[in-house]
Amino acid sequence: MALFARACGPWPLWSRSVLAVGIRLQSTRLQENGTRPGTGIEEEEFRVLNLKQTKSQRLARRKAFRPEVPPPRSQQMATDQDWGAVWPGPRSFNPSAVPLPIRQGYVTKRNQMSPGKFANAELMKIPNFLHLTPPVIKRQCEALKQFCTPWPKGLETEEKMKAHFPLTCVTSDYCHALPTIRNPLSRIVTVQVELSALQLDRHARDKLLRLVGERYNPETDLLTIVTDRCPLKKQNYDYAIYLLTALYHESNTVEEWEATKCEADMEYFDFEKSRSKRNAEATLNWGRKEGDSGWQQVPQAYADAVSRLFNEGENEYNIAKYKEQTIALLGLAEEKETK
């Protein structure tokens, strides 16, 4: 075509217009037939993009499918049903399974009832004991009887149990609604024992009382040891038993320097080693020597009165008791009666 155009020269204007009309006619025929001439391939229809929404383009909304909700289970329950089968174990509160008109919540207005059980978050937050009804507890106890042993003989009363088991251990467990099941207060262990059950002599008892200090209650004769240093309850219990064992053995230990103590070195007034005993014996046995026939010992009541006066201090009761025992020791009361 290029060689032909060069050879023939430029086309006249009327030929150009005829060529343009021929091309337009050919394109119009292609659009009407939808095929290319000579190929036989059908062309797709040119789709127009319409950005403006019309009524014909609106889609029909789908209808939401709502299943039929059955009535609450509590309305279909029988009055004589087995509640242990409905609520067998601990679980969160379920309003449809509890046939009780339970209400809980804060009331903002006056004369307004508390929120009901349905859609009540307060009832679901707290722990419930609906699985521990009396019939269920009785049934569980009957099932556990096969694993129990008979009650030991000789422990029928509290006195017998204290005689065989003088040690008492007190611990605490807490039930609360927190993210953790551990409570810091549950680690505290309290161990109590009667001091008379330890079978201590006078020296060991005095030494133990000085070691424990205010942990001993003379009115109830109880020694109380409280441990809370360790993070676990078992560790605190072992530590309390260790302290009790160490106190017992240390109290029964007699050091060498304790045998050389005199009356001025004693932590308490010992009547057996005091000058008061020697003076009282000299008064009772005037003109006699120790070991002679008729040698009299100091009455125990007088020894207790003197010891209480020195150890506990002067008060109205101790002074009156000391006066009474002194008059009885000297025999002045008998002479007054004879007169």
Query: Does position 339 have pLDDT exceeding 60, yes or no?
Result: no
Burial of residue 277 (CB within 10 Å: 0-12, 13-18, 19+) is: middle
Locate all alpha helices (DSSP H) within 34-115, ordered by sequence. 83-86
Q: Residues 148-188: pLDDT tens digits?
A: 999 888 888 988 998 899 999 999 998 877 787 788 899 99
Q: Average pLDDT of the chain?
A: 81
The two structure tokens encoding residue 124: 């679901």
Where is pLDDT greater, at 171 or 325?
Answer: 171
Contacts of 115 (CB under 8 A, 6+ apart): 103, 104, 105, 122
The two structure tokens encoding residue 80: 């004589």
Q: Residues 220-267: pLDDT tens digits?
A: 999 999 999 999 999 999 999 999 999 999 999 988 887 777 777 677
Least confident of 123-127, 153-157, 330-334: 330-334
pLDDT score at 65: 83
Out of 93-102, 236-245, 248-257, 289-298, the most confident range is 236-245
Contacts of 77 (CB under 8 A, 6+ apart): 86, 99
Query: Does position 134 have pLDDT exceeding 90, yes or no?
Result: yes
Least confident of 55-59, 217-221, 312-316: 55-59
CA dihedral 291, 272, 329, 316 (to 10 degrees): 180
Query: Does position 28 have pLDDT exceeding 80, yes or no?
Result: no
CATH of region 158-260, choose from 3.40.462.10, 3.40.120.10, 3.40.50.150, 3.30.160.20: 3.30.160.20
Q: What is the mean pLDDT of residues 21-49?
A: 57
CA dihedral 289, 295, 299, 300 (to 10 degrees): 80
CATH 3.30.160.20 location in the chain: 158-260
pLDDT band at 1 (very low <50, low <70, confident <90, very high): very low
Count of Cβ atoms closer than 10 Å to residue 269 Cβ: 16
Reference 69, options 116, 106, 31, 118; nearest CA is: 118
Give the integer Cα–Cα distance in Å for 226 and 232: 14
